[in-house]
Amino acid sequence: MKLFKNKTFLLFLPSLVFLIIPLYGLFGTIKQSLFQDGALSLSYYEQLWLSDRFIASLGFSLNIAFLSSLLSLGIGLFITRSCYGYLEKTIPRIIVWIPMLFPHFVWGYMVVLLLSETGVLSHALLSLGWLSDNSQFPILTRDPKGIGIIITYVWKETPFVILMLLPVYASVDPSYYDVVKTLGGGRWQQFINVEWPHLNKVLMETFIIIFSFVIASYEVPAFLGTSYPEMVAIVSYDWFYDGNWEDRPLAFAAMVSISLFILILAMTGFMLVNKKTWRSRRK
């Protein structure tokens, strides 16, 4: 084959070596969750899905991941669409992308400094006389609804959304807007007819990337979360490092379940954004 004659396949070797460790961990996790006393069994998954703690953490994690992803997409799309002319310049673009330079944990700490009951905003409102006591400030960090976690991820992921959308808007021909205006269309018609055909695939891809990261993340929920409800990663960590070794396979089963859910979500998104393409090919 031509691939082996010109030794192009050698270019793939570094990536294959890099994937050995995560693939080994993945197969090891699946094996640990499916085998009990050396025999194939689904008992760990049965225990998992009958666990009230896991069901509560799963609902909480899905809520946090969906809200964080949708808000990041909405805010990022609004900023990109409204400020595209400014974001073409270097300095505004660098300012918008600054949050991407720091880890999620750093922005979680910033949220605590700014929005906690004893944070900067609370003290500012107290000094202005708008609050008589710090206890009147709403609980936005380490709250049971995960508001602080959502704020952290939205703050951190919105620049990533802008990064993904800027090339899309750069590829849109400005003359298309003139055509819509000539036909009497407004801003909404411009968005639907000119921008949306270019945006839908990128938005779906970006949503899946953010959602997958958030639902499986640990550091921000561990720092800003409460003891109940917990995100799935926190529950899995506790089961894995708990003194009871019988709970460790439950941690593996939980992570495999989340991975399967992400895989199904990605496949569904791929099918939705490519449905029109498949229909046109059939015709």
Q: Which residues of the chain have pLDDT under 70?
A: 1-11, 243, 276-283
Q: Is residue 205 part of a domain?
A: yes
Provide the number of structural domains found in the chain: 1
Within a domain: 16: no
Amino acid making up residue 99: P
pLDDT for the residue 120? 86
What pLDDT shows up at residue 165? 92
Residue 151 has what pLDDT?
92
In this structure, are residues 249 and 32 in contact, taking their beta carbons and an 8 Å threshold? yes
With tokens 């709250």, the residue in question is: 143
The answer as to whether 5 is a domain residue is no
- Predicted TM-score (pTM) of the model is 0.85
User: What is the pLDDT, as a whole number, of residue 6?
Assistant: 55
- Asked if residue 244 is part of any domain, the answer here is yes
Tell me, yes or no, whether 258 lies in a domain: yes
| Furthest-apart CA atoms within the chain: distance in Å | 78
- Residue 206 is predicted with a pLDDT of 94
Dihedral sign (CA 162, 167, 168, 170)? positive
Please give the residue range of the domain that contains residue 243: 59-274
Name residue 40's beta-bridge partners. 35
Q: Residue 277: what pLDDT?
A: 58
For 67, 108, 145, the CA distances from 138, given in Å and listed in that order, are 20, 17, 12
- 145 domain residue, yes or no: yes
**Contact partners, residue 49, CB within 8 Å, separation at least 6:** 55
Q: Is there a domain that residue 7 lies in?
A: no
Residue 33 lies in a domain: no
The CATH number covering residue 157 comes to 1.10.3720.10
User: What confidence score (pLDDT) does residue 86 get?
Assistant: 82
The angle, 0 to 180 degrees and rounded to 10, between the axes of the packed helices 52-82 and 147-171 is 40
Q: What is the pLDDT of residue 208?
A: 93
pLDDT given at position 197: 85
Q: Which helix (H) or strand (E) holds 206?
A: helix 196-215
